[in-house]
Structure 1
């Protein structure tokens, strides 16, 4: 038998991120706040008034989501008919924030309705869109190799403008012994 200090076969666990630590607490606090506000409004007005508010929020949210989805699909169709990829300046981030605002309106609660209505205001959409884009770019630059952010960064490096260049690979006339019939592929066509 050997004596000594036991060594761990498992490496030290990575430190838990702040988001994973505080997100469940934030969601729980938000739910408690929403329920409390609904009971306060129900006490001040009536339960039927709260029900009407929730139904109106759901209907308005579904209309907003439908409109933003149609606009996004129309932008995609126009871009594809022009023969190019959809650009970020065509309002795609605005459509995404409109859909998020509609979703927040559909979720029962007064705080989520207020945030959803704020996201429907164009200056707020622009400010939130710029902030989200800056944050996304900063996270991409700080991405570690082998992560999803690294994959996005590599895709942006190799295709920065999103254009696809048609072409084919032409090999030498003689084929070496390592060249098998599976390696010879037909040229790319549209």
Structure 2
């Protein structure tokens, strides 16, 4: 229900702000502000998105938890997207997301709602094939088939002369062991 209300309320707010701002500064100035915010949003996403990617790589190379740089990067990209969307309300939200304190506050609020779980395999899902003997961990049971014999002679059909390369009979040659 909240999502439907948001899709109804936000466009009404944007239209009302367009009317108010357009009445104060004029049509062309309003359009120039909308275009300027879109250009700024694209530039922000390019520069800050690349910087966020470098920060994530740095945290991974230093064996640190990359979740905080990832969250900051995602919020900066969201801020850029909000700046690209035409409208003053979305621009205000995008500018708010550019403030590091607002991002940290938002991350804390989101983190309270996130529940971390543990992933694993239950013993009932790890059923063995009853026809195979149990092996220790680290042993992989496998089968193989020799597709071609590397010692097989090369047969030349009678239509091939000496100027054409010999052709092997059998497999492709990629399965030699």
One fold, TM greater than 0.5?
yes
Structure number with higher helix proportion? 1
**Aligned ranges for residues 1-190 of structure 1 at < 5 Å?**
21-79=1-59, 82=61, 84=63, 87-89=66-68, 91-137=69-115, 153-155=117-119, 158=120, 177-179=131-133, 184-185=141-142
User: For 1:48-105, what per-residue CA distance to the aligned partner results, in whole angstroms no more than 9, with x for missing partners?
Assistant: 111111111111111221122212321343345x37475224x221111111111111
Larger radius of gyration: 2
Aligned partners of 1:75 and 1:86 also within 8 Å: no
**After the TM superposition, which segments of 4 or more aligned residues of structure 1 sit over 2 Å from their partners?**
75-80, 82-89, 176-179
Aligned partners of 1:34 and 1:111 also within 8 Å: yes
Shift of the 76–122 alpha-carbon distance from structure 1 to 2, 3 Å rule, reads: closer
| Unaligned runs of at least 5 residues, structure 2 | 121-129, 134-139, 144-177
Alpha-carbon distance between aligned partners in 1 of 2:62 and 2:142, rounded to the nearest angstrom:
27
Q: Which residue is equivalent to 2:150?
A: none
Alpha-carbon distance between aligned partners in 1 of 2:64 and 2:141, rounded to the nearest angstrom:
30
Deviation of the 1:22 alpha carbon: 2.7
Normalised by the length of structure 1, the TM-score is 0.59
Alpha-carbon distance between aligned partners in 1 of 2:142 and 2:9, rounded to the nearest angstrom:
59
Q: How many pairs align?
A: 129
Deviation of the 1:178 alpha carbon: 2.6
Normalised by the length of structure 2, the TM-score is 0.63
User: For 1:101-123, what per-residue CA distance to the aligned partner results, in whole angstroms no more than 9, with x for missing partners?
Assistant: 11111111111111110110111
Shift of the 44–83 alpha-carbon distance from structure 1 to 2, 3 Å rule, reads: closer
User: For 1:151-173, what per-residue CA distance to the aligned partner results, in whole angstroms no more than 9, with x for missing partners?
Assistant: xx233xx5xxxxxxxxxxxxxxx
